[in-house]
Amino acid sequence: MARNTAAGGLAGHLHLGLRLNRRGMELSAMRLVVWGAGELGGRVAIQWAPSGGPVVGLTQGTSRHDDLRRAGVEPRLGSAVDVLTPDDVLLLALPGNAKQKAAVDALQHTPPPGRAVLISSTGYYGTPVGRVDEETPSGQTQHAINVASAEHAFRTWAGANGVVMRFGGLYRPGRGPMSALLRRGAAPEGAPNRTLALIHYADAVTATLAALRHPAPETTYVGVVPPCPTRCEFYTRACEVAGLPEPMFTSPLSHPPAEYDVTRLMRDLLPEPAHPDWRDALAV
């Protein structure tokens, strides 16, 4: 009798797993609409195109259109409101929470698609203290309030089909905190023990693609690749590499620096980051 129960349970789990896998396969075959096919969104669109369904990449200008077209992406100007259907998958990757919020507001009377992913920010947490995960409350800075407002509007619209990716600072050679340092010629002042939440573009793309295709994702992910440096660690090393004067810092924070818990991200979307060492962000 016990064996029959176990067999039934196993069959049930196998059936559930097959159903979930089919859901993931269905999502991959659907058309992807990327609203904001720029630095991050454009990379996601290009990687979706060879093995997934058709892709529409919506941009604010035409400078990326030739590259998108060569990769099999249909480039367009304009809004997702004009093209999105319930049979699509949507990535909302416009730069800045103000543009994200305006885009979500514009979508409120459009039926949500089969999956919608919003590229948000760890700015949601303001200046967090200690352990930070998906359930950590939003911060009280104006920026944090704005990010939280955009997320709330997105969740109201997308419902159970929505996934929020709270990415840290994105970097690659030529873009990120090292590039900003070189342009500025000196490290920005700030607390030495504040955590810099970082993730390489390649890892952010991998995680975003996984969120778009996952058969049953969580509603929120913290998109950071620990261990994250403090400002002191990063800018001291960065200035040394760049041959710039030693950085100056303000008074340290009176509380412990943030420690990002990315258990959920690593479990579901990014089990093996391609760039696990923050020192990769020092590349120029």
Mean pLDDT value across residues 249-268: 95
Query: pTM for the full model?
Result: 0.90
* pLDDT cut 70: percent of the chain above it: 91
Cβ-based neighbours of 83, under 8 Å, separated by 6 or more: 33, 56, 58, 76
- The answer to whether residues 70 and 49 touch, using CB atoms and an 8 Å cutoff, is no
pLDDT band at residue 114 under the 50/70/90 scheme:
very high
Mean pLDDT of the chain: 91
pLDDT greater at residue 4 or residue 43: 43
> 123: exposed, middle or buried (C-beta count within 10 Å: 0-12, 13-18, 19+)?
buried
